[in-house]
Amino acid sequence: MVPTNYYVILSAILFGLGVFAFIFKRNIITIFMSIELMLNAVNLAFVAFSQALGKLDGQVFVLFVIVVAAAEAAVGLGIIILIARNRQTLNVERVDLLKL
Partner 1 sequence: MPAHPILEYLWIVPLLPLLGSAVNGLFGAKWPNKIVNWVAIGSTGLSFLGALEAVREFFDYFAQNHETFHKAFFTWIAAGNFRADFDLQMDQLTVVMVLVVTGVGWLIHIYATAYMAHEGGYYRFFSYLNLFMFFMLILVLAANYVLLFVGWEGVGLSSYLLIGFYFLKKSASDAGKKAFIVNRIGDFGFMLGMFLLFRNFGTLDFVQLFAKADPSAFEPLWKFGALTVAALLLFMGACGKSAQLPLYVWLPDAMEGPTPVSALIHAATMVTAGVYVVARSHILFAHSETAMLAVAIVGCATAFFAATIGLVQTDIKRVLAYSTVSQLGYMFLACGVGAFSAGIFHLMTHAFFKALLFLAAGSVIHAMGGEQDMNRMGGLSKKIRWTYVMMLTATLAIAGFPPFAGFFSKDSILLSAFQNEYGGRNVGYTLYAFGLATALLTAFYMFRLIFLTFHGKQRYDEHQVHVHESPNNMLVPLMILAVLSTVGGWFAAPAFLPGGTDYFTKFLQPVFGGLEVAGTEVEAHSLEIWLAGVAFMIALIGAVVAYWLYLKRPEKTNGLAKSLKPAYATLLNKYYVDELYAVVVVRPLLWISTNVLWKVTDVVGIDGAVNGIARGTTAIGDGVRHTQSGNTRSYAVWVVVGAIVVIAIIFFWPSGGKPFLGMVH
Binding site for partner 1 (CB under 8 A): 19, 22-24, 26, 31, 92-93, 95-100
At closest approach, how far in Å is the CB of 100 from partner 1? 5
In this complex, which beta carbon is closest to partner 1, that of residue 2 or of residue 88? 88
27 Cβ neighbours under 8 A, 6+ residues apart: 90, 91, 92
CB of 44 to partner 1, least distance (A): 18
Single-letter code of the amino acid located at 21: A
Task: Give the nearest distance from C-beta 79 to partner 1 in angstroms.
Answer: 12
Q: Is 1 or 93 the residue whose CB approaches partner 1 more closely?
A: 93
Q: Based on CB atoms, which residue is closest to partner 1, 1 or 99?
A: 99
Using a 10 angstrom Cβ sphere, with 0-12 exposed, 13-18 middle and 19 or more buried, the burial of residue 63 is exposed
Q: How far is the CB of 23 from partner 1 (least distance, A)?
A: 5
